[in-house]
């Protein structure tokens, strides 16, 4: 797998070091940074880092697109930073819109896994009820329903934690504010009033009554409350004596913040959220297919900026006020299927084996709701498939809006696994219209891509792909390129078959895989050893001809910490092809449950016209021709 620590340290270095980072977090596919000085970020250098799919500024936020392994890389980023940021502010003035989008994204992206997991359970429960597999009174149903509803019901607590981190204030004070909003006195009073009962008022400041508002599942009130908390706490700390600040700063802060939140920010946030939900619903009800067409055709462009997470509070608020979302979720679903359709069309039409492989794997990823590999790796790169996806997404967006397709719970990744959240016993046709919409989107984008065509990658001459068995000279070139030799004895496998998406999707570069039969790795090319981690599970070599090669032994074997590996060289050594690099205990690695597959990757594949295997399958021996990198 990719060396996440190296990716993280290199990214931090190229964005100006940890001193230039004011905040860092991640979403499903990308690292997100606030920087003091954006001019220090070396965008092109970051794009060239193995394991990085792309990098860009979106407003005042710098994003590094990683893909499915972003969580692992972010753990290493936090290790480098020593937290989620090392400074308190930016040296550059941020626009109000950029700052708002940055705040929303930073607050909601950490919560998404919890919302996604519980939302999917709720969707599956709806499916179980619809198919009469269970009843609402069954014990297991009630337990699972509590699980599915818990995050949404107590959402102010979750938002409080991420908001305090974003506003850089005390998490526990933020939770205290949320606790007041959801205190039984408030909840019970609201429920009683809703049932037509009279409830005694809570009066403050000689006649000002506290409004009884339903804060369950709310987001805007607690965000405003925590924002105010951060301001008040910093103000109190400035004048509170150090000897008593630990006790009295929290006390004074809460005594100020909670009443203001109950009287001002809570009701204001609730009314604003209700108005927003009703307004968007009105727009889609009256503008209908036109609104769906516009949003469907432009949603991938919003995803490219990384600002699609700014829609999350709108969606959450729709669920609270309306009980469903008939805007963002359905349209996001069909646009994801459009990206998948275009990618699969490229896989069908392309004559290039590597392109077929990447298009297929990224198309599957898009079907599951992660579209960045398809967008950046295939569709956007070839342009016309991306245009086809935009057109298909717009048409399908108009369709699902016309039939008012609704999502009844959060689902996180909007892909095929999210289908259950669109199921409702009360509106059984909802899932049918969605199924037609996503099928339409996939098929139209597929057809549009085939009709529009695209510029295919150059395919090497047949002579370059003929198997050549034994090679005596390590520096031998073929068709103006470099020959890469097998580093180990074993059975050839296509790189796309390995159980690690970073390698299988070609994110790190093109190459081949070998299931080893012994435990000795030799140099595939002559050059300088540039990478040799302490775990000794991988070796990077920069060839004398400029070829950059990575030999990676096993999947997740970095976790062994060097156990069962012995290096025969060190970083900085010059090696010749066929020279022993390292040895490993194949038996022990297997017994520990690790996949020992050896990956051989040309990490600067973009510098070559193509990187092709000399054979697709069969037994291979050390120093046999494995790959040819064609100039």
Q: Mind listing the pLDDT tens digit for each residue in 247-280?
A: 899 999 999 999 999 999 989 888 887 777 677 7
CB–CB of 147/122 below 8 Å?
Answer: no
User: Which runs of E-coded beta strand occur in 201-318?
Assistant: 203-204, 208-209
Residues 316, 447 share a domain: yes
What pLDDT, in 10s, does the model give residues 132-141? 888 888 999 8
pLDDT at 430 over 90: yes
| 379 secondary structure, DSSP code | I
More confident position, 431 or 613: 431
Share of the chain above pLDDT 70, in %: 88
Neighbours of 76 (CB within 10 A): 18
Asked if residue 589 belongs to a domain, the reply is yes
Beta strands across the sheet bearing 21-26 = 21-26, 30-35, 61-65, 54-58
| Burial profile 326-362: b = 16 or more Cβ within 10 angstroms, e = fewer | bbbbbbbbbbbbbbbbbbbbbbebbebbbbbbbbbbb
What pLDDT, in 10s, does the model give residues 62-111? 888 887 677 788 888 888 887 544 333 444 445 565 566 667 767 877 77
Residues 433, 483 share a domain: no
What pLDDT, in 10s, does the model give residues 357-372? 878 888 887 888 777 6
Q: Which two tokens stand for residue 362?
A: 């990224």
Q: How far is CA 171 from the centre of its chain?
A: 25
Q: How many domains in the chain? A: 4
Q: Which two tokens stand for residue 278?
A: 């009703």
- pLDDT score recorded for residue 91: 41
Residues 474, 419 share a domain: no
CB–CB of 312/219 below 8 Å?
Answer: no
Last residue of a domain, one of 419, 452, 485: 452
Asked if residue 444 belongs to a domain, the reply is yes
pLDDT at 488 over 90: yes
- pLDDT score recorded for residue 132: 80
The DSSP result for 113-149, as a single string, is: HHHHHHHHHHHHHHHHHHTTSS-TTSHHHHHHHHHHH
As a whole number of Å, the end-to-end CA separation of the chain is 27
More confident position, 296 or 414: 296
Residues 312, 254 share a domain: no
Residues 477, 440 share a domain: no
Asked if residue 120 belongs to a domain, the reply is no
CATH of the domain at 566: 2.70.70.10
CB–CB of 128/135 below 8 Å?
Answer: no
CB–CB of 422/572 below 8 Å?
Answer: no
Last residue of a domain, one of 284, 314, 344: 284
pLDDT at 593 over 80: yes
Asked if residue 457 belongs to a domain, the reply is no
In the predicted model, what is the mean pLDDT of residues 596-602? 93
- pLDDT score recorded for residue 160: 94
pLDDT band at 516 (very low <50, low <70, confident <90, very high): very high
More confident position, 454 or 192: 192
Residues 575, 499 share a domain: yes
- pLDDT score recorded for residue 157: 94
CATH of the domain at 61: 3.30.1360.60
Residues 375, 302 share a domain: yes
In the predicted model, what is the mean pLDDT of residues 568-576? 91
Q: Which two tokens stand for residue 32?
A: 């997100």
Q: Looking up tokens 């010059």, which residue turns up?
A: 574
How much is the pTM? 0.51
Indicate the length of the chain as a whole number. 631
Asked if residue 144 belongs to a domain, the reply is no
In the predicted model, what is the mean pLDDT of residues 267-294? 79
- pLDDT score recorded for residue 465: 37
In the predicted model, what is the mean pLDDT of residues 508-513? 88
- pLDDT score recorded for residue 412: 60
Known catalytic membership, residue 192: no
In the predicted model, what is the mean pLDDT of residues 333-347? 93
Q: What whole-number distance in Å separates Cα of residue 96 and Cα of residue 108?
A: 18
Contacts of 137 (CB under 8 A, 6+ apart): none
Ranked by mean pLDDT, which of 308-317, 319-328, 616-625 comes out on top?
319-328
Active-site choice (21, 27, 31, 127):
27
Asked if residue 232 belongs to a domain, the reply is yes
What pLDDT, in 10s, does the model give residues 437-480? 999 999 999 999 999 988 776 544 433 333 433 333 333 333 34
Asked if residue 117 belongs to a domain, the reply is no
Cα–Cα distances (Å) from 51 to 64, 80, 116, 220, 546, in that order, read 10, 17, 26, 37, 19
- pLDDT score recorded for residue 374: 80
Last residue of a domain, one of 404, 430, 452: 452
Residue ranges making up the domain that contains 308: 288-452
Asked if residue 397 belongs to a domain, the reply is yes
- Number of helices and strands (H, E) in the chain? 22, 21
- pLDDT score recorded for residue 498: 86
Q: What angle do CA 469, 490, 540 make, to 5 degrees?
A: 90
The angle, 0 to 180 degrees and rounded to 10, between the axes of the packed helices 139-153 and 155-167 is: 30
Sign of the torsion formed by the C-alpha atoms of 119, 124, 130 and 134: negative
Beta strands across the sheet bearing 580-584 = 520-522, 580-584, 565-567
- pLDDT score recorded for residue 92: 46
- pLDDT score recorded for residue 446: 96
In the predicted model, what is the mean pLDDT of residues 33-45? 86
Neighbours of 542 (CB within 10 A): 17
In the predicted model, what is the mean pLDDT of residues 11-30? 83
More confident position, 217 or 473: 217
28-37, 185-194, 397-406, 517-526: least confident range: 28-37
More confident position, 207 or 511: 511
Residues 302, 181 share a domain: no
Tell me which residue of 611, 582, 599 sits closest to 514, measured CA to CA.
599
Residues 293, 280 share a domain: no
Q: What is the mean pLDDT of the chain?
A: 83
Q: Looking up tokens 């595939």, which residue turns up?
A: 524
pLDDT at 501 over 90: no
In the predicted model, what is the mean pLDDT of residues 476-488? 66
pLDDT at 582 over 50: yes
- pLDDT score recorded for residue 307: 58
Residues 319, 279 share a domain: no
CB–CB of 330/338 below 8 Å?
Answer: no
Residues 625, 554 share a domain: yes
Residues 432, 302 share a domain: yes
């Amino acid at each position: 797998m990719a060396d996440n620590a190296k990716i993280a340290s290199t990214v931090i270095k190229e964005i100006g070091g940890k001193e230039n980072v004011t905040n860092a977090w991640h979403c499903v596919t990308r690292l997100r940074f606030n920087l003091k000085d954006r001019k220090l970020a070396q965008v092109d250098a970051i794009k060239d880092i193995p394991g990085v799919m792309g990098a860009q500024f979106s407003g005042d936020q710098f994003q590094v697109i990683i893909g499915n392994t972003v969580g692992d890389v972010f753990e290493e980023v936090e290790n480098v930073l020593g937290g989620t940021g090392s400074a308190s502010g930016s040296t550059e003035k941020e626009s109000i819109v950029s700052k708002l989008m940055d705040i929303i994204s930073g607050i909601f992206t950490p919560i998404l896994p919890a919302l996604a997991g519980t939302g999917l359970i709720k969707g599956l429960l709806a499916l179980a009820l619809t198919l009469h597999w269970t009843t609402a009174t069954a014990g297991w149903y009630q337990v699972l329903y509590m699980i599915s509803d818990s995050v949404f019901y107590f959402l102010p607590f979750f938002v409080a934690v991420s908001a305090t981190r974003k506003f850089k204030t005390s998490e526990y004070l933020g939770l205290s504010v949320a606790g007041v909003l959801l205190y039984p006195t408030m909840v019970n009073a609201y429920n009683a009033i809703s049932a037509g009962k009279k409830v005694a008022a809570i009066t403050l400041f000689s006649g000002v009554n506290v409004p009884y508002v339903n804060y369950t599942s709310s987001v805007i009130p607690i965000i405003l409350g925590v924002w105010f908390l951060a301001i008040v706490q910093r103000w109190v700390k400035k004048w509170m004596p150090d000897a008593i600040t630990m006790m009295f700063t929290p006390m004074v802060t809460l005594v100020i913040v909670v009443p203001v939140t109950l009287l001002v920010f809570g009701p204001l946030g609730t009314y604003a959220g209700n108005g927003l939900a009703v307004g968007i619903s009105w727009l889609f009800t009256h503008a209908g297919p036109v609104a769906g067409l516009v949003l469907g055709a432009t949603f991938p462009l919003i995803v490219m900026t990384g600002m699609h997470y700014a829609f999350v509070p709108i969606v959450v608020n729709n669920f609270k006020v309306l009980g469903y979302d008939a805007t963002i979720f359905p349209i996001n679903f069909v646009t994801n299927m459009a990206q998948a359709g275009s990618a699969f069309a490229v896989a069908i039409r392309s004559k290039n084996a590597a392109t077929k492989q990447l298009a297929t794997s990224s198309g599957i990823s898009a079907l599951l709701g992660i579209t960045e590999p398809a967008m950046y790796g295939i569709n956007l790169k070839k342009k016309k498939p991306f245009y086809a996806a935009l057109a298909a997404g717009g048409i399908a967006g108009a369709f699902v809006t016309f039939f008012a397709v609704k999502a009844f719970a959060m689902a996180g990744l909007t892909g095929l696994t999210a289908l259950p959240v669109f199921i409702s016993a009360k509106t059984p046709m909802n899932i049918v219209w969605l199924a037609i919409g996503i099928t339409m989107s996939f098929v139209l984008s597929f057809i549009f891509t085939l009709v529009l065509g695209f510029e295919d990658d150059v395919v090497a001459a047949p002579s370059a792909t003929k198997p050549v068995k034994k090679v005596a000279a390590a520096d031998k070139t073929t068709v103006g390129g470099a020959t890469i030799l097998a580093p180990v004895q074993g059975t050839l496998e296509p790189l796309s078959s390995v159980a690690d998406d970073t390698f299988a999707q070609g994110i790190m570069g093109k190459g081949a895989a070998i299931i080893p039969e012994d435990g000795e790795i030799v140099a595939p090319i002559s050059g300088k050893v540039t990478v040799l981690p302490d775990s000794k599970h991988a070796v990077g070599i920069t060839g004398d001809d400029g070829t950059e090669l990575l030999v990676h032994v096993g999947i997740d074997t970095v976790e062994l910490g060097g156990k069962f590996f012995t290096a025969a060289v060190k970083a900085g050594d010059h090696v010749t092809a066929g020279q022993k690099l390292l040895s490993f205990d194949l038996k022990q690695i297997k017994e520990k449950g690790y996949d020992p597959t050896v990956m051989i990757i040309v990490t600067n594949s973009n510098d070559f016209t193509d990187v092709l295997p000399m054979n697709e399958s069969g037994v291979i021996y050390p120093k046999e021709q494995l790959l040819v990198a064609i100039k």
